[in-house]
């Protein structure tokens, strides 16, 4: 009998996010920063995830009332598989940094710019500690700088954690998994412990790594260089510039988190949610629906490579008589379909059609047609006599009521049919284009007859026939441009039944929130030209996430998952600006629509280095007395506010 190795919890017993809303950090173009000392609001707890191609690390840290630092670092190595092939069976372990003895370290500053930095002082020695997941290797890497800032010579004892081994019978290959810890000073490896003497003003540097791979001192240094290069290159892609620095800084962070959670596996690159549980695995919602449409125009080669791999692997699961499986797990060697049909075909079709249109890759579109047609035929088989689509659950997998038909599946499928009509026309499949247009019209009719309702006093939508309370997902019709019940829906979303502390409750009367719904809601408000309300919500949300207690990324859910920084949610934040504020929608390989919805407070905004229609371009929008002046590359346009602009690029 083989034993299943569960690994370690991502958060320690003291590392539970409390949901506090206090501002803890300041932000600027160099990242987020927090100062600690006498009078600081302490204790303070946070956790931040950082990922490379071979490793992901969740760094939990607690600044105690006396400014002492407590850390708990959960490391996952997605391509190292434990038994059996299970969603959570990536090899994981808790790793430790170096231990310094010779004085109590008091933390006075925390900085994060994609690399987490702690600065403190121990008996006159300033200690700066930088931590990140290795960019390429299966390791967590550390860089320490020690400097004597006192007037006398100082001595510190440095202790390195011991290696540890997990027995081979826990592993898929039956081989022991060893966690190796190595440290170097001046290129020379140190033993378990070492005394360091520092004269006044003297400084020394220690490189340290712990993980599956054994790294040299130069190797650790290279990992930091590659991480810094990744952050720098991320900043150069899809440059979103607004009149307010908080939005620009938040988008910079979101590009890092959205792009970094891509792992090398035996079945190609895979983008994964993260959060301590989900690695070397992909979902039809997180990857097909949320993140890959962003990667189509982000301009990151590795992200586009994994998007194609994702759509191909899911496409191979398409059948005419069965829903596409929810998740591809275990680095592509297993599947999870526990909630059955969640509307997964709609999610797949929504994402792959938008992606292919934006990237303008005709050859790939032709290659994917067999997958698309199979997925579409199954989706059509789920139409009911009420002109709605039946599904077993939704993307929340029966955590809340979803009935036999839910609003989420209808909206995602409706948008997918519209995108598919554009795609089919580009491929000269006019027959299919006409079929999906009629399917979209049929769904729109079903919206009115089945989902429109008065819910808790608001003329909006019921989420499913069994639901009598408001749900945050009533925002979805707005995101697909259905405005029939706009006023009641907007009022309901912003009422105290749903809108709480800068976020949205999943269901009125409950305590659970999922950031994905508020991110969709903000985008939807911009899409239907509710600029003022969208702007106010975006501003409140951004400040809470960027500078609040648990910074600096969007989250998955709370209290579930300890408000994990799942990767795809950062992609949804970025899509607010492109698809919401700019109103971007692909309509062909060489065409797209724009319908800007700038806040009244803004005189303009720009998105530079955006990849559209097979090339990189810049989009600049300026407000001008009831009009928008729009530049797409060298081309200039002028439209009235609220109008839609159709752009054709040769």
Residue 101 has pLDDT above 90, yes or no: no
3-state secondary structure of 647: strand
Domains of the chain, each with CATH number or no CATH: 26-233 (2.70.98), 237-593 (1.50.10.10)
Measured N-to-C along each axis, helices 531-547 and 515-527 cross at an angle, to the nearest 10 degrees, of 150
pLDDT at 78: 96
Spatial separation of the C-alpha atoms in residues 477 and 528, rounded to whole Å: 10
pLDDT value, residue 168: 84
Whether the per-residue pLDDT at 142 is higher than 90: the answer is: yes
Q: What is the mean pLDDT of residues 114-139?
A: 97
pLDDT at 3: 38
Integer Cα distance of 31 and 253 in angstroms: 8
What confidence tens digit (pLDDT) does each residue in 183-230 have?
999 989 998 888 999 999 999 999 999 999 999 999 999 999 999 999
352-410 per-position pLDDT tens digit:
999 999 999 999 999 999 999 999 999 999 999 999 999 999 999 989 999 999 999 99
Cα separations (Å) of 27 from 330, 544, 552, 573? 38, 12, 9, 17
Q: Which pLDDT score is estimated for 20?
A: 65
Burial class (CB in 10 A: 0-12, 13-18, 19+), 590: middle
Residue 501 pLDDT > 80, yes or no? Answer: no
Within 13 Å, how many C-alpha atoms sit on residue 577's CB side?
Answer: 32
pLDDT tens track for 552-606: 999 998 888 899 999 999 999 999 999 999 999 999 999 999 999 999 999 999 9
Separation in Å, CA 34 to CA 143, 187, 479, 551, 564: 20, 32, 36, 11, 21
Q: Is the pLDDT of residue 4 over 50?
A: no
Give every CB contact of residue 284 below 8 A, 6+ residues apart in sequence: 314, 324, 326, 327, 342, 344, 347, 348, 351
Residue 39 pLDDT class (50, 70, 90 cuts): confident
Residue 599 to residues 124, 517, 577, 623, Cα–Cα distance (Å): 51, 21, 12, 10
Q: What single-letter DSSP state applies at residue 447? A: I
Query: Average of pLDDT values for 3-9?
Result: 55
Residue 2 has a pLDDT of 36
Q: Tell me how far apart the alpha carbons of residues 499 and 409 are, in angstroms, rounded to a whole number.
A: 23
- Averaged pLDDT of the chain: 94
d(CA 239, CA 235): 7
pLDDT score at 315: 98
- Which position has the token pair 């600081």? 40
Check pLDDT > 90 for residue 346: yes
Q: Model confidence over 43-52: pLDDT tens digits?
A: 999 999 999 9
Confidence of residue 5 (pLDDT cuts 50, 70, 90): very low
Q: With 60 as the cut, is the pLDDT of residue 236 above it? A: yes
């Amino acid at each position: 009998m083989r034993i299943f190795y569960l690994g370690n919890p991502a958060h320690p017993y003291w590392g539970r996010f409390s949901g506090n809303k206090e501002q803890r950090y300041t932000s600027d173009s160099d990242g987020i920063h927090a100062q600690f000392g006498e009078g600081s609001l302490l204790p303070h707890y946070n956790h931040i995830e950082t990922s490379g191609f071979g490793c992901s690390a969740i760094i939990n840290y607690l600044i105690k009332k006396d400014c002492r630092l407590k850390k708990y670092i959960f490391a996952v190595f997605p391509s190292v598989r434990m038994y059996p092939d299970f969603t959570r069976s990536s090899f994981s372990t808790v790793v430790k940094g170096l231990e310094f003895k010779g004085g109590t370290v008091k933390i006075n500053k925390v900085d994060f710019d994609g690399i987490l930095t702690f600065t403190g002082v121990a008996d006159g020695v300033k200690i700066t500690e930088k931590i990140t997941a290795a960019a390429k290797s299966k390791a967590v890497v550390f860089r320490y700088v020690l400097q004597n800032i006192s007037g006398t010579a100082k001595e510190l004892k440095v202790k390195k954690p011991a290696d540890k081994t997990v027995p081979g019978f826990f592993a898929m290959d039956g081989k022991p998994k060893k966690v190796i810890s190595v440290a170097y000073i001046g290129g020379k490896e140190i033993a378990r412990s070492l005394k360091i003497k520092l004269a006044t003003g003297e400084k020394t540097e220690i490189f340290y790594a712990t993980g599956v791979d054994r790294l040299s001192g130069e190797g650790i240094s290279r990992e930091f260089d590659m991480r810094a290069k990744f952050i720098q290159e991320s900043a150069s892609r899809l440059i979103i510039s607004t009149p307010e620095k908080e939005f620009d800084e938040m988008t910079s962070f979101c590009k890092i988190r959205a792009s970094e959670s891509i792992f090398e596996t035996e079945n190609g690159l895979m983008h994964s949610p993260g959060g301590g549980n989900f690695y070397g695995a992909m979902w039809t919602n997180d990857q097909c629906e949320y993140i890959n449409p962003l990667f189509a125009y982000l301009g990151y080669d590795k992200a586009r490579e994994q998007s194609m791999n994702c759509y191909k692997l899911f496409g191979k699961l398409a059948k005419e008589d069965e829903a596409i499986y929810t998740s591809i797990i275990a680095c592509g060697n297993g599947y999870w379909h526990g909630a059955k049909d969640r509307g997964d075909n709609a999610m797949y079709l929504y994402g792959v059609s938008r992606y292919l249109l934006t990237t303008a890759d005709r050859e790939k579109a032709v290659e994917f047609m067999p997958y698309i047609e199979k997925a579409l035929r199954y989706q059509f088989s789920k139409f009911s006599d009420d002109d709605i689509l039946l599904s077993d659950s939704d993307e929340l997998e029966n955590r809340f009521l979803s009935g036999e038909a839910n609003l989420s599946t209808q909206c995602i499928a409706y948008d997918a049919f519209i995108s598919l009509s554009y795609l089919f026309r580009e491929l000269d499949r006019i027959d299919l284009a006409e079929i999906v247009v009629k399917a979209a019209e049929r769904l729109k009719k079903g919206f009115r007859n089945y989902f429109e309702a008065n819910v808790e006093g608001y003329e909006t939508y019921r989420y499913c026939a069994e639901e009598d309370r408001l749900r945050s997902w009533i925002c979805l019709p707005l995101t697909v441009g259905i405005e029939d019940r706009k006023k009641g829906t907007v009022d309901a979303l912003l009422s105290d039944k749903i809108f709480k502390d800068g976020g949205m409750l999943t269901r009125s009367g409950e305590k659970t929130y999922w950031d994905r719904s508020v991110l969709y809601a903000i985008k939807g408000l911009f899409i239907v030209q509710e600029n003022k309300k969208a702007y106010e919500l975006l501003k409140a949300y951004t400040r809470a996430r960027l500078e609040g207690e648990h910074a600096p990324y969007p989250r998955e859910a709370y209290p579930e998952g300890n408000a994990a920084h799942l990767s795809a949610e950062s992609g949804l934040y970025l899509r607010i600006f492109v698809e919401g504020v700019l109103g971007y929608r692909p309509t062909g390989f060489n065409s797209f629509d724009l319908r800007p919805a700038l806040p009244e407070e803004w005189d303009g905004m720009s998105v530079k280095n955006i990849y559209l229609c097979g090339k990189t371009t810049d989009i600049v929008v300026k407000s001008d007395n009831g009009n928008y002046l729009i530049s797409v590359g060298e081309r200039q346009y002028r439209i009235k506010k609220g109008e839609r602009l159709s752009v054709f690029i040769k």
